[in-house]
A and B are shown apart, each in its own frame.
Chain A
Amino acid sequence: MSNQGPDNSKIVKRLLLTVAGMFAFGFALVPLYDAFCEVTGFNGRTNNEPAAVSQHEVDKSRTVRVQFITRTAQGIPWKFEPEIKEVRVHPGEVRVVNFLAANPTSDDMVAQAIPSIAPAEASLYLNKVECFCFNQQPLAAGNDAEMPMQFYIDPEIPDHITTFTLSYTLYDMTANATPESLALLESTE
């Protein structure tokens, strides 16, 4: 019956290839999205790698307000708070802010803090030299800890960003603890 175009099986093959390609594309969206977020700061993610220590001159002409918010996810009854709710820093200036965590339960637990920044654009200019969020944080039953976060703001930060909020959500990772966190837990006991 075919009277025009290539025969049926050729078209079917091409269409099936498209289907397979689009299925793969669905999964390819995952790394693409990560790369896109990293480049554009879309969605307010921050680096999970330590930044180099600031080589920048401190720009004393400007101050940026950095606010801290903490939250614990469902299923983790820890206390988790920043030592200070807000700091004012000059771009380029290195600051340390401590976060306080306490495990009131009678179980040893391991947690992971996940950062997020609003407005998202600011995430491109926040450099963390050291952060408790880079690793899992183990806490033995009833213990508490002071967890430091050392950061500076890139002096390139656009003028319209005068305030941003850094939020940490703490997740229970006891079931998926890394060997290092388990070793740390054992050494505290």
Chain B
Amino acid sequence: MSTVVDDHNHEAHHDHKPSGITRWLFTTNHKDIGSMYLWFSLIMFFVGGAMAMVIRAELFQPGLQLVEPQFFNQMTTVHGLVMIFGAVMPAFTGLANWMVPMMIGAPDMALPRMNNWSFWILPFAFVILLSSLFMEGGGPDFGWTFYAPLSTTYSNDSTALFVFAVHIMGISSIMGAINVIVTIINMRAPGMTYMKMPLFVWTWLITAFLLIAVMPVLAGAVTMVLTDKYFGTSFFDAAGGGDPVMFQHIFWFFGHPEVYIMILPSFGIVSAIIPAFSRKKLFGYSSMVYATASIAILSFLVWAHHMFTTGMPVFAELFFMYCTMLIAVPTGVKVFNWVATMWRGAISFEVPMLFALAFVILFTIGGFSGVMLAMTPVDFQYHDTYFVVAHFHYVLVTGAIFSIMAASYYWLPKWSGHMYDTTLARLHFWSSLISVNVLFFPMHFAGLAGMPRRIPDYAVQFADINQITSIGGFAFGLSQLIFLWLVIKCARGGEKAPAKPWDGAEGLEWTVPSPAPYHTFETPPKVE
């Protein structure tokens, strides 16, 4: 696809940078900021994971053993917020920071100072959110969806902190998105036309537009919650002429595009890895681009499928049901393309490929349960049960998180300059793969049998299923420590990685040495 003419000697005379903490505080280098995003995301993954462990420990047996119900609710709420806004989204932004400039042959992001800001406000948002857990009355306990009136009439005093934390997270992701868009529009190397861009760049471009469109709506929703709670407005208060159902409409108008924000970059990652280890070009490149765009557009027309049980007219239910099922078509195109890419390829099973393959299969399972949930009549049974929990964890954990793991294993040699311990990596993969299914698959059955979500206690007939689920949960949590150890080990040393450790890999990022020099592509590469 591309070659670089002159890239020697970069490292030699451009690699000076401030040392110590100021390097990280004041850096405008996309690689530094990318690394900080990725480390932050990893820390948040363990923070949110610790909360999941509390949840699974409490649910190990029926009855209340370990925590108070109100604290349990805080755990489910903050687990969701931390994993979405702290783990998955910053991981994608970190990957975009590292990879987008290198993939399009740009020397850095277009707006480096704003890039520094968009990262550094993020830790403050999470300090605010997490410290609210230690307040008198506790942290937010109304679910990550903060439905009114739970978050207005019935919420505790930490709600203001929750609102400000979400504002800051929103500002951070909007700045990140603006940066990605400007970079992609203006910084492509000569010859890097839109239809030559790697799919990770394409999917991130579309994701960035989704972020620009819906994060402000989320900011509006939390602002309305804030004024309803503290300033006497009645946006969602029926007594004052407002409507709590309207909260759900506004929230899910943000919330549904948000779920695609958390999966489209995964599609880009998997579309890079599968061709590399199948040693074939990606099947149906342009259909991938159009499918991504279609998913993004459709994501604005399906929000009310989260609200089938609110008593909508049948016509509206049918409209949202059909639009939702329509999303299965472009998603199916993608899965088909990945399978077709592997068809008759010379496949090898390095760790990134293992995660990518697990992604394709397990994300598709999550997609199928999504189609089940899309059907209005059956949704009345599944709504707010563990079936929903199973569904969105299949698309988010074995979907988004597995793709982030795949990306890490794919590009870690490029970032660190070292090959990682593949034995540990394989151990991480297999233990994660098995435990994640022990964790989430039985949840489908618990949900179908009627176990409601977000409860600290449950009827005894669900005891066995929850015990299995919890064991899977603990195993999955422990497996991630292998990943942490592996990343630390790889960052500190190891076998020197060549510029292109994967023989089938394509793209400009493999034309620079490993580790990627501090400054790359100061002279734009030539793209054929």
Interface residues of A (CB under 8 A from B): 1-5, 7-8, 11-12, 15-16, 18-23, 25-27, 29-30, 33, 37, 40-45, 48, 73-74, 112, 114, 118-121, 169, 171-173, 176
Contact = CB atoms under 8 A, between A and B. Distances in A.
B212 A7 contact: no
B111 A8 contact: yes
B185 A25 contact: no
Given A27-B220, A42-B313, A1 B187 contact: yes
A111 B519 CA distance: 68
Majority secondary structure of chain A interface residues (helix, strand, loop or mixed): helix
B186 A25 contact: no
Contact of B313 (A26, A29, A121): A121
* The 10 nearest A-B residue pairs measured at CB: A26-B220, A171-B239, A22-B216, A23-B216, A26-B217, A2-B186, A114-B238, A15-B178, A5-B185, A33-B246
Nearest to B181: A15
Nearest to A119: B313
A22 B212 contact: yes
22 contacts: A1-B107, A1-B110, A2-B186, A2-B187, A3-B190, A5-B185, A8-B110, A19-B215, A22-B216, A26-B216, A26-B217, A26-B220, A30-B235, A33-B249, A40-B313, A42-B313, A43-B243, A43-B245, A48-B241, A112-B239, A121-B313, A176-B232
Given A3-B188, A3-B190, A33-B246, 5 more contacts: A19-B178, A26-B218, A48-B241, A74-B153, A171-B239
Contact of A19 (B107, B174, B186, B239): B174
A9 to B, nearest CB: 9
B186 A26 contact: no
Contacts of B213: 18, 22
Interface centre among B107, B212, B220, by most chain A C-beta atoms within 10 angstroms, is B220
B293 interface: no
Interface residues of B, number: 43
A52 to B, nearest CB: 23
B107 A33 contact: no
A15 B183 CA distance: 13
Contacts, number: 111
Counting chain B CB atoms within 10 Å of each CB, which of A2, A37, A43, A44 scores highest?
A43
Given A42-B316, A169-B238, A4 B212 contact: no
Interface string B366-409: 00000000000000000000000000000000000000000000
A48 B238 CA distance: 13
A114 B177 CA distance: 42
Interface in B216-237: 216-221, 224, 232, 235
Interface of B: 106-107, 110-111, 153, 174, 177-178, 181-182, 185-188, 190, 212-221, 224, 232, 235, 238-241, 243, 245-246, 249-250, 253, 311-313, 316, 524
A1 B182 contact: no
Nearest to A26: B220
Contacts of A74: 153
B429 to A, nearest CB: 39
Contacts of B250: 26, 29
A1 B409 CA distance: 31
A3 B212 contact: no
A12 B183 CA distance: 11
B311 A114 contact: no
A22 B221 CA distance: 12
B313 A120 contact: yes
B300 to A, nearest CB: 11
Contacts of A22: 212-217
A3 B186 contact: yes
Contact of B243 (A33, A112, A121): A33
B311 A120 contact: yes
B239 A5 contact: no
A29 B216 contact: no
A8 to B, nearest CB: 5
Contacts of A3: 186-188, 190, 524
A16 B178 contact: yes
A36 B487 CA distance: 53
Contacts of B107: 1
Nearest to B239: A171
A100 B162 CA distance: 42
Given A23-B219, A30-B235, A44-B311, A4 B246 contact: no
Contact of A26 (B185, B190, B219, B245): B219
A34 B185 CA distance: 39
